[in-house]
Amino acid sequence: MTPQTDITTFDDIKLLVDTFYSKVQKDEFIGPIFNEKIGNRWPEHLEKMYRFWQTILLEVHSYSGSPFPPHKQLPVAKEHFDRWMQIFTETTDSLFSGPLAEEAKLRAKNMAEMFHYKIDYFRNLEKNQTNNS
């Protein structure tokens, strides 16, 4: 069964975020990284993600901050971002269909690529600084 509705409300955002992160937490590959980093702060993280996606997709400016810094030191590689993106795409496709659902997947893909690039950049920068000391 293909979903017929697009992402249009805050409740849709919550459904997407809750379903996605529920799968992430249980995933054997990326779940341990998220669970170790977030610990018992999942409710706080989910609230932040609701506001982030509401700002991006519904243009309700409820998120402020910089999403990259908390991710800078994560022990992740391209395979982790690929898995994250796979789960995000599957979750979105299972729940929604329409322009905003497509926009969510595009934004997630762009964010995953940018985070991966920046994490690699900082990792290499630190490695080079250590080697040159």
Question: Annotated binding site for heme, which residues?
Answer: 71
Q: CA 13 from chain center: how many Å?
A: 13
Element (H, E) at 21: helix 10-26
Q: SS3 for 97?
A: coil
- Give buried/exposed letters for 44-80 (b at 16+ CB in 10 A, else e): ebbebbbbbbbebbbeeeeeeeeeeeeeeeeebeeeb
Q: Which residues are annotated as part of the binding site?
A: 71
Contact 24, 31 (CB under 8 A): yes
Among candidate residues 37, 3, 118, the one with its CA nearest the CA of residue 72: 118
